[in-house]
Structure 1
Amino acid sequence: MNTVVTTYHQRIAREKRALILAAATALFLELGYDRTSLARIAERSGVSRATLFKQFPTKAALFDAMVTESWSTAGEEDPPPAGNIVDGLSTIGRRYAELLRRPQMTDLFRIVIAELPRFPELANAQFSQGKMPYFESVRGYLLAEHKAGTVKVDDVELAATQFLGMISNYVFWPALLVPGWEVSAERVAQVVDEAVRTVVARYATTGPSAT
């Protein structure tokens, strides 16, 4: 019985958390970060102030949770094992494209860009808690492939930036800046495949994994 009750309460807590994050995102976009109070977020989300303050005692803590939530799929999946650079990069590329196409990712970047002059700490949170952990996972994967001998990369940080940039420059940034910009799933797959081919052509060593 206790297990059932605990599971129920955990589910309710997750549901309320999702409502709070959705309300906060909408209000930050609508009113701006500064003009949005925790009390207003509680009202919009339909939860009590006590419930909201229990989960998020400050607005900064709430924004940090938004960053973590937006990049969550990145931390939940381990990088592919080293040994086949084509398969590994294809997996990473598909994950990254899927991550960037999530509506909450676009919303998060719009909030950060809009509030950057007054609240640079929001950009710092987005970069240090979201972008960089994901980047480090890709960098670590390429380093593992380098050590395995499937690629020869003198500057792993640059190679990771090149690979992710080829995907984001087509899949994400136009959608952030151009209203109504849409990319089909087929086109996304093509963009990822071409990014993989480019990196493999530049860095892969000779052998089965490079073909």
Structure 2
Amino acid sequence: MSKVVTTYHQRVAQEKRALIMAAATALFLELGYDRTSLLRIAERSGVSKATLFKQFPTKAALFDAIVTESWSTADDQDPPPPGNLIEGLTTIGRRYADLLSRPRMTDLFRIVIAELPRFPELAQAQFSQGKMPYFESVRRYLSAEHTAGTARIDDVELAATQFLGMISNYIFWPSLLVPGWQVTTERVTQVVDEAAQTFAARYGMPGDPAID
């Protein structure tokens, strides 16, 4: 019985956490980070102040949680195994495209950009807790391909930046600047496939049947 109660309480806590984070994101966009108080967030989310402070004692902690969740991949997927460069790149590329297509990701960047002059620490949180951990997972995958002999990558950091950039420069960044920018599912598939092929042509080892 206690296990059922514990599971129920955990589910309720997760639901309230989601409500708080959604309300905070919306208010940060509407009012700005500075003018958004924890009290206002509690009112918008429909939870008590005690519940909010228990989960997020400060506004900075709440923003950090939004960053971490925005960059988390669904079900904490493991990186693809090395051995087939194009297949692995395609898997990573599609996951990255899905990640960038989340509404909260666009909202997060808009908050950071708007508040950068007054709150540079928000950009630091976005970089250190969001972008870099994700980037590091891609870097490790490319290092594994290099070790496996499927690719020759002397500068893994540069290569990871190149691959992710080919995807984000078409799918994500225009959405921040161009009103109504939308990319169809078919176009996303094409962008990812072309990025994988281009990367493999540059870094893949000759004789790999997936490349030849």
If the TM-score is normalised by the length of the shorter chain, which range does it land in? over 0.9
Report the residue type matching 1:165 in the other structure: G
Query: 2:162: which partner in 1?
Result: 162
Q: Is the CA contact (8 Å cut-off) linking 1:97 and 1:171 kept in structure 2? A: yes
The answer as to 2:56 corresponding to 1:56 is yes
SS at match of 2:198: helix
The answer as to 2:175 corresponding to 1:175 is yes
Cα deviation 1:150-175 (Å, max 9, x = unaligned): 01111111110000000000000011
- TM-score, length basis structure 1: 0.98
Cα deviation 1:86-123 (Å, max 9, x = unaligned): 11000000000000000000000000000000000000
Give the whole-Å Cα distance in 1 for the aligned partners of 2:32 and 2:48: 22
Q: Is the CA contact (8 Å cut-off) linking 1:150 and 1:209 kept in structure 2? A: no
Query: 1:77: which partner in 2?
Result: 77
Query: 1:33: which partner in 2?
Result: 33
Report the residue type matching 2:211 in the other structure: A
- TM-score, length basis structure 2: 0.98
Give the whole-Å Cα distance in 1 for the aligned partners of 2:75 and 2:192: 20
The answer as to 2:92 corresponding to 1:92 is yes
Cα deviation 1:1-44 (Å, max 9, x = unaligned): 11110111011000000000000000000000000000000000
Give the whole-Å Cα distance in 1 for the aligned partners of 2:190 and 2:99: 16
Query: 1:210: which partner in 2?
Result: 211
SS at match of 1:210: coil
Report the residue type matching 1:135 in the other structure: F
Cα deviation 1:177-197 (Å, max 9, x = unaligned): 112110000000000000001
The answer as to 2:43 corresponding to 1:23 is no
Give the whole-Å Cα distance in 2 for the aligned partners of 1:209 and 1:79: 18
Displacement, 1:210?
A: 2.8
Q: Which runs of 4+ in 1 moved over 4 A?
A: none
Report the residue type matching 1:43 in the other structure: E
Displacement, 1:61?
A: 0.2
Query: 2:130: which partner in 1?
Result: 130
Report the residue type matching 1:210 in the other structure: I
Q: Is the CA contact (8 Å cut-off) linking 1:75 and 1:134 kept in structure 2? A: no
Report the residue type matching 1:182 in the other structure: Q
Cα deviation 1:130-155 (Å, max 9, x = unaligned): 00001011011011100110011111
Give the whole-Å Cα distance in 1 for the aligned partners of 2:170 and 2:73: 20
Report the number of matched residues.
Answer: 211
Report the residue type matching 2:198 in the other structure: T
Give the whole-Å Cα distance in 2 for the aligned partners of 1:83 and 1:209: 10
Cα deviation 1:61-97 (Å, max 9, x = unaligned): 0000000110111781111111100110000000000
Query: 2:47: which partner in 1?
Result: 47
Change (3 A) 1:25 1:96: same
